[in-house]
Amino acid sequence: MNYICIDCRSRYSLDSNKWKCKCGGLLNLEYEKKAVDFAKTSLSRNHSLWKYIDVLPFEMEDVWQEITLGEGDTPLIKISENLFAKAEYYMPTLSFKDRGAVLLISIAKKLGINRVIADSSGNAGTAIAAYGARAGIQCDIFVPESTSSKKIKQIEAHGAVIHKVPGTREDTAMAAIAMVENTHSFYASHIYNPIFWEGTKTYVYEVFEQLNGKMPDVFIVPVGNGTLLMGAYIAFQELMENGQIKRMPKILAVQAENCAPIVHSFTKGRNTVEPVKSFETLAEGIAIAVPARGTEILQAIRATDGDIIGVTEESIIQARKELALKGIYVEITSAANYAGYLKYVEKYPGLKNQQIVFPLCGAGLKSN
Ligand SMILES: *Cc1c(COP(=O)(O)O)cnc(C)c1O
Ligand SMILES: [Zn+2]
């Protein structure tokens, strides 16, 4: 298994601690995968994402056994005839980021690393801090100063060193990267390290199995840095390659209108994402003005014949209320997904007859 540059195809071993190619290109992961045997997994008594071990970069008897907190295998809740919500707030740290974090920290542990650095708008940092604590790995977590105090408390509780950075989310990333470079540490980044997506892809494997081996027509996914989106797309590709699905489901992506660089580039037909003027949004978890993986995100949406839209602040608040009145309490960022669903149904009335899954990414108590 190694990292491979998406531009010049240079390869790096995992213990190189590389997070970017010497040419400046982003790194993807290259390794031998098998196919999931769904006849076997459906009978598995392992109720976590690790039942998909055949498509994960680990062996059965491996270091993950000491690090897992039972993440994954989250409920799929039927909202109406064709609409399902995947309840990712059932995760150990109450957001889907645990899917990626458990893999990243397991790899770090396997490499004998004792300190990692990460930056996040909150939930990824929380997940890294929790698994880091479990693995006995010291974590330095960088967050924007404006991050919800609940998330900051959660990170601190796990014993991580927290660095609150004034300014934008990009300033936070730069501060983390500076420390990575100065200390030659492992950068446990959910954006740069492709191992994270190996975890988030299990979201799709679970849905496929929960719908009895039938893919929904549409996955609604939020996009900040695109970690759930990229994971979903990798799963679609694997399932296609292994002949387990015949066509790709559509990705219908959602951003907050106040910070929507990918919506902007997509509508303009561009292949790269340029920074756009953005405004504050209550959806802190997807407020990414300069997504590092923008080009790959655009490619993934287009490859599924998908779409991306922005939702307003008012519609996010309204969607959160509506979900709560159905018994579902999500953090504010996460309500953008349901707001996105409601807007998509107006844009494409035919969607009413299609099977759709949207995620409940984070728990309601995470928001201030
Ligand atoms: C991380 C996160 C997202 C999606 O963000 P990406 O940066 O695209 O991975 C959405 N909602 C919540 C609650 C999150 O924590
Ligand atoms: Zn390169």
275 pLDDT exceeds 90?
Answer: no
The protein residue with its alpha carbon nearest to ligand 1, atom 5, reads 224
Quick check: helix, strand or coil at residue 340? Answer: helix
Provide, rounded to the nearest whole percent, the portion of the chain with pLDDT above 90: 95
> From ligand 1's centre to the CA of 227, what distance in Å?
7
3-state DSSP: the chain helix, strand, coil percent, rounded to 5?
45, 20, 40
**pLDDT, tens digit (0-9, with 9 covering 90-100), for 149-174:** 999 999 999 999 999 999 988 999 99
Is ligand 1 within 6 A of the CB of residue 230? no
**pLDDT, tens digit (0-9, with 9 covering 90-100), for 8-63:** 999 999 999 999 999 999 999 999 989 999 999 999 999 999 999 999 999 999 99
> From ligand 2's centre to the CA of 3, what distance in Å?
10
Is ligand 1 within 6 A of the CB of residue 261? no
CA angle 184, 7, 173 (to 5 degrees): 40
CA angle 284, 286, 290 (to 5 degrees): 110
One-letter amino acid identity for 322?
E
> From ligand 2's centre to the CA of 7, what distance in Å?
5
278 pLDDT exceeds 90?
Answer: no
Burial class (CB in 10 A: 0-12, 13-18, 19+), 347: exposed
pLDDT value of position 29: 96
On whether the CB atoms of residues 48 and 70 are closer than 8 A, the answer is yes
Which listed ligand is nearest to 99 at the C-alpha? 1
Instruction: Indicate whether this model's pTM tops 0.95.
Output: yes
Is ligand 1 within 6 A of the CB of residue 121? no
Please state, in angstroms and rounded to a whole number, the distance separating the CA atoms of residues 256 and 92. 26
Q: Which atom of ligand 1 is nearest to the CA of 223?
A: 8
- 272: how many CB neighbours lie within 10 A of its CB? 8
Is ligand 1 within 6 A of the CB of residue 285? yes
Which listed ligand is nearest to 288 at the C-alpha? 1
Per-chain mean pLDDT for the chain: 96
One-letter amino acid identity for 319?
A
On whether the CB atoms of residues 297 and 345 are closer than 8 A, the answer is no
Is ligand 1 within 6 A of the CB of residue 231? no
Which listed ligand is nearest to 27 at the C-alpha? 2
The protein residue with its alpha carbon nearest to ligand 1, atom 9, reads 227
pLDDT value of position 205: 98
Is ligand 1 within 6 A of the CB of residue 224? yes
> From ligand 1's centre to the CA of 156, what distance in Å?
20
Quick check: helix, strand or coil at residue 5? Answer: strand
Please state, in angstroms and rounded to a whole number, the distance separating the CA atoms of residues 289 and 294. 10
Please state, in angstroms and rounded to a whole number, the distance separating the CA atoms of residues 109 and 129. 14
**pLDDT, tens digit (0-9, with 9 covering 90-100), for 286-317:** 999 999 999 999 999 999 999 999 999 999 99
DSSP result, 120-165: -SSHHHHHHHHHHHHHT-EEEEEEETTS-HHHHHHHHHTTPEEEEE
Please state, in angstroms and rounded to a whole number, the distance separating the CA atoms of residues 319 and 180. 39
Quick check: helix, strand or coil at residue 11? Answer: strand
Is ligand 1 within 6 A of the CB of residue 189? no
Pocket-testing residue among 88, 143, 227, 296, ligand 1, by greatest number of atoms within 8 A of Cβ: 227
**Structural tokens at position 105:** 């920290």
Quick check: helix, strand or coil at residue 197? Answer: helix
97-187, what's its fold?
A: Rossmann fold (3.40.50)
Pocket-testing residue among 88, 96, 251, 282, ligand 1, by greatest number of atoms within 8 A of Cβ: 96
Please state, in angstroms and rounded to a whole number, the distance separating the CA atoms of residues 203 and 201. 5
**pLDDT, tens digit (0-9, with 9 covering 90-100), for 191-243:** 999 999 999 999 999 999 999 999 999 999 999 999 999 999 999 999 999 99
On whether the CB atoms of residues 227 and 297 are closer than 8 A, the answer is no
Quick check: helix, strand or coil at residue 4? Answer: strand
**pLDDT, tens digit (0-9, with 9 covering 90-100), for 56-93:** 999 999 999 999 999 999 999 999 999 999 999 999 99
Which listed ligand is nearest to 340 at the C-alpha? 1
